[in-house]
Structure 1
Amino acid sequence: MTRAFLRMNVLPTLTLTVCLLAPALASAQQSASSEAPALQPTTCSVEGLMDSIRRGMNSRSEAYKLYLRTLLRESAVNLPRAELQAAFEREYDPVMVEHLAAALVARTERGLEDDAFQVVAKRALEDRDPGLRAATVRAMRRTGALGRSGEMFERLVRDPSPEVRMETATNLVEDTHHVYGGHHGPAADTAVSAAAASDDPKVTAKVLGQLMTGEISSDSARKLEKLLGSDSAEVRAAASTALGGVPVAEMANARQSLTGMYRDEKDPTVRKAILQSIARLGFSGAVPELQRLRAVDPSMTSEIDSWIRVLNMNHQDWSLILREKQRQQQAR
């Protein structure tokens, strides 16, 4: 094992591990025998940790760098809050800003201080450097941020920087899926509101095109219906897709909106999205409506007939219907 490897990989890990074990050392001192030398608990040094991580980030191993980031986040509960915040506020390396922000968010996630998260949110919204704003947004990914501040996301999707806006869109998608399992109404409502508040069609389309909308509110359903009138075909297609998954109470309105839109829509990609959502909302019950739409646009006839064939198989699970539709498409 070379000295360079020890310096780059082993020593940073040892430093972080000692910090993680500090509370255990204090506990061990109480149970040690009277003859044994007393173990003295020490306070983790934020600067020492950051120096170790900076060196470790030069490693060629992505797995090792991920390990260091995880260790810092797990160490956050044992770090002095004031030092951690001060280090975050004076740091200007985007990589380190992201790691320090994640450590502060972790303190809030572990129930230590609610305002630790607010410190991170403030920098995400107000830092003059768009690269640092984007790094801070990434630090909040797959955390409970979506449930803490819907207003923050509505501001972030209007950020002047395209990078910040797209990082925010990624957070909205991943948080609803990985933190809330795609079945939490308030989280989905926050995502819909943010998507609707954005002036960037790519952001709106990214969020709505991947959002699970089975638990959204009536207010969110109305926002989706309004977005069907967007000037952007990309947004219209995404809003059409999102309407295909609305709750039972919203299905009738969604079907009516999509059917009416189909007759006037000219973009073939949007029309395909509409047909898919009509099929999803009705399953085999959508066949009569699809048959009536065959005459609207002859170029869509084969697409409609494909949906009719699949729906007539009477599958009761949407994933099976979609899989069969895709199989038929690939076979053509």
Structure 2
Amino acid sequence: MTRHFLPLHGLPTLALTLSLLAPTLALAGQEGATQDAPALKGESCSVQGLMDQIRRGLGSKSEAYKLYLRTLLRESAVTLPLSELQAAFEREYDPAMAEHLAAALVARTERGLEPEAMELVAQRALGDRDPSIRAATVRALRRTGALERTGDMYERLIRDPSPEVRQEAATNLVEDNIEVYGGRDARAADTAVTVAAASTDPKLTAQILGNIMTGEVSAGSARKLEQLLGNDSAEVRAAASTALGGVPAAEMGSAREALVGMYRGEKDPTVRKAIIQSIARLGFSGAVPELQRLRGVDPSLAPEIDTWIRVLNMDLQEWSLILGAKQRLQQQAR
């Protein structure tokens, strides 16, 4: 399975890490002159040494310096003993420090070392008694390949009793879908849909569905999206409508039929606008006849449909161009 991030494999020495971080380190030094960043000190390449430096640096007003320290630990992870990293992680109860250590463990797995390093982080994300620690370790898994290695972790996290943990899990799914997999991975898309459907928090369900790319979802996930069109929450219905607009070609016919049928009975104007947009996206210029038939269902949205028809008749061949043209027409009409 090809992912669209570029893991750094096998940084062998701390010296190489520091050379890669030189621009950030220079910026940290510049900011530190005016924002009281602690003076950089030579440290032995040890877990304790790095943790002591990070702990001191957390009080700095320099964001560049703090970024340097976070990156330093993550990039140094491959040179540090796993047993020491694990022990430090397990005894750490400051959320910021726990997140740094979790990111270092995740980096080891990402770079081809021990798979159990990431598993340790996932176990703590699911089982720690402190919700702030659970949330911190979830953040450490963001924009990584954790989705492929942690089984049903996200389905369990979305049911966590802590709103903070649930929010971090939802954010991971959205960012991973786009930033790690480029919206072109079926497993990532299906997991996001499954987790969204499992959520009992309408806002999180809508956040996930309204922001992921669904061009690779399976038939099963497409049916879940169609089922969510009947959700009690208008926010969820609108997000599910948006998600259905991006389904693969094999699912377009069913999605279009579901959306058209829903439009006639839907009362919420925001949901109806989302449906109109997805019908347009599923059909491009071929959607014009359907939109014309729907024009009289809700007279208040006739201008919206007319704008879509005008744009689709331009026969543009890319969705981004269609969206841009519609935005320009709306601005001209104001």
What TM-score does the superposition give when structure 1 sets the normalisation length?
0.88
**Per the alignment, in what secondary structure is the counterpart of residue 216 of structure 1?**
coil
Unaligned stretches of 5+ in structure 1? Answer: 20-44
CA distance, structure 2, for counterparts of residue 240 and residue 99 of structure 1: 38
Bigger Rg over Cα: 1
CA distance, structure 2, for counterparts of residue 9 and residue 306 of structure 1: 59
CA distance, structure 2, for counterparts of residue 9 and residue 218 of structure 1: 57
Select the structure with the greater relative contact order (CA < 8 A; seq sep ≥ 6): 2
Which residue pairs with 1:209 in the alignment?
210
Check the 8 A contact 1:201/1:234 in 2, yes or no.
yes
For residue 224 of structure 1, report the CA deviation from its aligned partner: 0.6
For residue 144 of structure 1, report the CA deviation from its aligned partner: 0.4
Which residue pairs with 1:279 in the alignment?
280
Verify: 1:259 aligned to 2:289, yes or no: no
Counterpart amino acid of 1:271? R
CA distance, structure 2, for counterparts of residue 149 and residue 204 of structure 1: 21
**Per the alignment, in what secondary structure is the counterpart of residue 211 of structure 1?**
coil
RMSD: 1.5
Verify: 1:157 aligned to 2:158, yes or no: yes
Does the C-alpha gap of structure 1 residues 255 and 58 become closer, same or farther in structure 2, counting only changes over 3 Å? same
Which residue pairs with 1:139 in the alignment?
140
Check the 8 A contact 2:263/2:272 in 1, yes or no.
yes
Verify: 1:53 aligned to 2:54, yes or no: yes
Q: Identity of counterpart residues, as a percentage? A: 73
Q: 1:183-222 CA distances to partner (integer Å, 9 max, x unpaired)?
A: 1111111111111111111111111101111111111101
Which residue pairs with 1:36 in the alignment?
none
CA distance, structure 2, for counterparts of residue 150 and residue 61 of structure 1: 38
For residue 149 of structure 1, report the CA deviation from its aligned partner: 2.5
Counterpart amino acid of 1:314? D
Query: 179-188 or 246-255: which moved more?
Result: 179-188
Check the 8 A contact 1:150/1:190 in 2, yes or no.
no
Query: 142-151 or 172-181: which moved more?
Result: 142-151
CA distance, structure 1, for counterparts of residue 67 and residue 328 of structure 2: 38
CA distance, structure 2, for counterparts of residue 216 and residue 142 of structure 1: 20
Counterpart amino acid of 2:71? T
CA distance, structure 1, for counterparts of residue 123 and residue 176 of structure 2: 19
Check the 8 A contact 1:94/1:135 in 2, yes or no.
yes
CA distance, structure 2, for counterparts of residue 156 and residue 76 of structure 1: 26
Which residue pairs with 1:10 in the alignment?
40
Check the 8 A contact 2:205/2:236 in 1, yes or no.
yes
**Per the alignment, in what secondary structure is the counterpart of residue 315 of structure 2?**
coil
Which residue pairs with 1:174 in the alignment?
175
Q: 1:135-172 CA distances to partner (integer Å, 9 max, x unpaired)?
A: 11000000101222341000111111111111111100
Counterpart amino acid of 1:319? S
Which residue pairs with 1:270 in the alignment?
271
In the TM superposition, 1:105-124 aligns within 5 A as: 105-124=106-125
Check the 8 A contact 1:150/1:194 in 2, yes or no.
no
For residue 61 of structure 1, report the CA deviation from its aligned partner: 1.1
Q: 1:288-327 CA distances to partner (integer Å, 9 max, x unpaired)?
A: 0000001111111111111001001110110010011111
Counterpart amino acid of 1:152? M
Q: 1:96-152 CA distances to partner (integer Å, 9 max, x unpaired)?
A: 010000001111111111111111011101111111111110000001012223410
Check the 8 A contact 1:166/1:203 in 2, yes or no.
yes
Which residue pairs with 1:74 in the alignment?
75
For residue 7 of structure 1, report the CA deviation from its aligned partner: 8.6
Which residue pairs with 2:241 in the alignment?
240
Counterpart amino acid of 1:135? A
CA distance, structure 2, for counterparts of residue 71 and residue 106 of structure 1: 12
Q: 1:9-67 CA distances to partner (integer Å, 9 max, x unpaired)?
A: 311xx32xx53xxxxxxxxxxxxxxxxxxxxxxxxx21121011111222211111111
Verify: 1:186 aligned to 2:195, yes or no: no
Check the 8 A contact 2:37/2:62 in 1, yes or no.
no
**Per the alignment, in what secondary structure is the counterpart of residue 39 of structure 2?**
helix
Which residue pairs with 1:127 in the alignment?
128
Q: Which portions of structure 1, spanning 4 or more consecutive aligned residues, are displaced by more than 3 angstroms?
A: 4-7
What TM-score does the superposition give when structure 2 sets the normalisation length?
0.87
Check the 8 A contact 2:157/2:166 in 1, yes or no.
yes
Which residue pairs with 2:327 in the alignment?
326
Verify: 1:288 aligned to 2:318, yes or no: no
For residue 243 of structure 1, report the CA deviation from its aligned partner: 0.3
CA distance, structure 1, for counterparts of residue 209 and residue 143 of structure 2: 18
CA distance, structure 2, for counterparts of residue 99 and residue 294 of structure 1: 54
Check the 8 A contact 1:142/1:171 in 2, yes or no.
yes
Check the 8 A contact 2:47/2:84 in 1, yes or no.
yes
Counterpart amino acid of 1:101? A
Check the 8 A contact 2:170/2:204 in 1, yes or no.
yes
